[in-house]
Every structure is written in structure tokens, then in C-alpha cells.
Amino acid sequence: MAADAARNEFVPLPGLLPGAVVSAVGYRMADSAPRVHRGLPSPALTLVLSLDEPIVTGRSPAHATGPQAHREGIVLGGLHTGPAFIAQPHRQAGIQLAVRPCAARELLGLPASELGMLGNDVGAVLGSGADRLREQLHEAQDWTERYVLLAAFLRRRREEAARRPGPRPEITEAWQWIARHRGAGSMEGLARHVLLSRRQLTELFRAELGVTPKAASRLMRFEYARQQIVRTLGRGAAPDLTEVAHTTGYYDHSHLVRDFRQYTGTSPTGWLAEERRNIQAGAHQRSEDWGT
């Protein structure tokens, strides 16, 4: 186990584009045999740039390993409430970004609601410069050089989008409220806070972000629970799921397990068994600040 973990490298790239990027991690991994990895839902958009072969993804393990799987050098995904599956080869390298949903317009030129779970036309969204960026990242000598290249690309995207309208202020404030409450606030309280009826808020929120406020809150709460589990395991301790449920706003342990099964397709213990090595190597590290 220790030898396998040593072959996997996860390099945080902090402060990449404050206000828009929650986290960015460079990775280089080696497995003794190909396997299928679960890409979990989170309260962020996902942008992954491969430094090697195309990333192979699917809606199920069978899809990801079959002839109809998506094969892209750059993967871009919106908010979703079920796992995506990635067919991982023996060796892989890339950079994965978690992007704030309310920053989709400024970085991508469209609302988060227009991004699917998988298979977006990345060229149409990010422009022709995205393929050139990927080539430069592949050719770069180290992670520091890759950081500089990626930061410059994202800043150009932000500058190009400066004149585009952003989300309605009620939606931005609603997202910040959900983040401050770590997904545990009531929908009635949220609607009162932004001075909208629950129906109005739901319609506007879904139109901008692609999910309802309630679904976003559940994603936020699950993410905080998952991060607490990751931190505990990273310290070498066994996570107490009952305590995690209590401290992250779940009604009880069974409700946490229910969400884990929905979002990962397996139990908490099953997910930990799959990801223990990557967690110990430094994967799954994200910012605690999910607001905008």
C-alpha cells in the first residue's frame, strides 16, 4: 500500500483564480492495472485537462469501459447528483479544477445550467485556445510552469467575459447563503433571505445553475461530510460516521449513508476502500470556502 501511494502525486495549485476557482490539483498517478474511478458530485463545476491520453468517461462502469464511452482531452462537467465513471489507464496525469457555479458565465461564457454531466463540446465553450493550453501544459517542465500557463489562460477568459452579464444577484446571494450554512439551512429561510417566494427562487436557481436550491444544499452538506471523513482518514484515524453526520447537519447516520449511496453509488466504507490510497497520497483536498 505504501509503495503504491508513493507512485501517486497530487499537487495543490492554490490561489489560481480567487473568486472563481475553489481548488486546483495537479496529479500524476500509476496503477498496477487499469480500473474504473468514481467521479463524485460536488457543489462545483469540474474542469479536467489531461496531460496524457484522452480521459475516458461514462455514466456507468460499463459505459466508461465500452465502445460508446466519451474520450476527451479536456472534460467539463456541470453540477450533477450522481457519480460519473472514469476508466483510468495504468498511468495518467492532468490538472483538475473545481469551479464555482456562479463563475460559469465569466470563465465559460454560459450559465452552469447549460453544462451537462459529461460530453460537453469543450472547444465551443472554452475556445480554440483550450487545445493549445493543453499542449503547453503537456510540454511544461514542472507544476510551477503549468500553474503560470493555466492562470494566464483563466485570466484571459475572465477579461474576455468582463462585459458579459453575471447571474442575478438573488442567485449569487442564495448560493452564498447555502455555503455559509454548509447546506444545512432551511429553504424557507433561504427564500426569505433573498426576498423571493420558494417557487420563484427554485425557478431562477435552476435556470442559472441547473439544480434546485434544495439539491444544491444537499450537495453542499455532503461535500462537507465527505471532506471531514477525508481529513480524519488523512490523520490516520478511522472516521466515526455518526459523529460526522451530527457535526455536518444530517438528521442521523442513516441519512448520511443514504446520500453517500446516491452520490457515490456505494456505501461510505465501500468508497473509502476504493479511495484510501489516493486520500493518503493527498487527493480529495479542497477549499472550505464554497461561497463566491
> Which structural domains are found in the chain, ordered by start?
2-160 (2.60.120.10)
Task: Give pTM, 2 decimals.
Answer: 0.89
pLDDT of residue 119: 54
pLDDT of residue 1: 32
Q: Any alpha helices (H) in the chain, and if so which ranges?
A: 2-6, 61-64, 104-108, 122-126, 129-139, 143-160, 169-180, 187-193, 198-209, 213-234, 241-247, 253-264, 268-281
28 vs 38: CA distance, rounded Å:
17
Are 229 and 239 in contact by the 8 Å Cβ rule? The answer is: yes
Cell of 64: 466508461
* Mean pLDDT, the chain cut into blocks of 10 residues (292 residues total): 57 91 92 83 94 91 92 91 90 94 91 76 81 94 96 91 86 97 96 97 97 97 93 88 94 94 92 82 64 64
Angle between helices 253-264 and 268-281 (to 10 degrees): 70
DSSP string, 77-116: E---SS-EEEEE-SEEEEEEEEE-GGGHHHHHSS-GGG--
| Among 240, 227, 231, CA closest to 269 | 240
pLDDT of residue 162: 72
pLDDT of residue 51: 94
Phi and psi torsions of 148, nearest 5°: -60, -45
Q: Is the dihedral of CA 46, 52, 54, 57 positive or negative?
A: negative
pLDDT of residue 287: 59
Q: Which amino acid is at 167?
A: P
Are 209 and 168 in contact by the 8 Å Cβ rule? The answer is: no
Cell of 254: 442513516
CA dihedral 90, 85, 234, 247 (to 10 degrees): 180
Judge residue 216's burial from the number of C-beta atoms within 10 Å of its C-beta, 0-12 exposed, 13-18 middle, 19 or more buried. buried
Residues near 244 by beta carbon (within 8 Å), at least 6 away in sequence: 225, 228, 229, 232, 250, 256
pLDDT of residue 32: 67
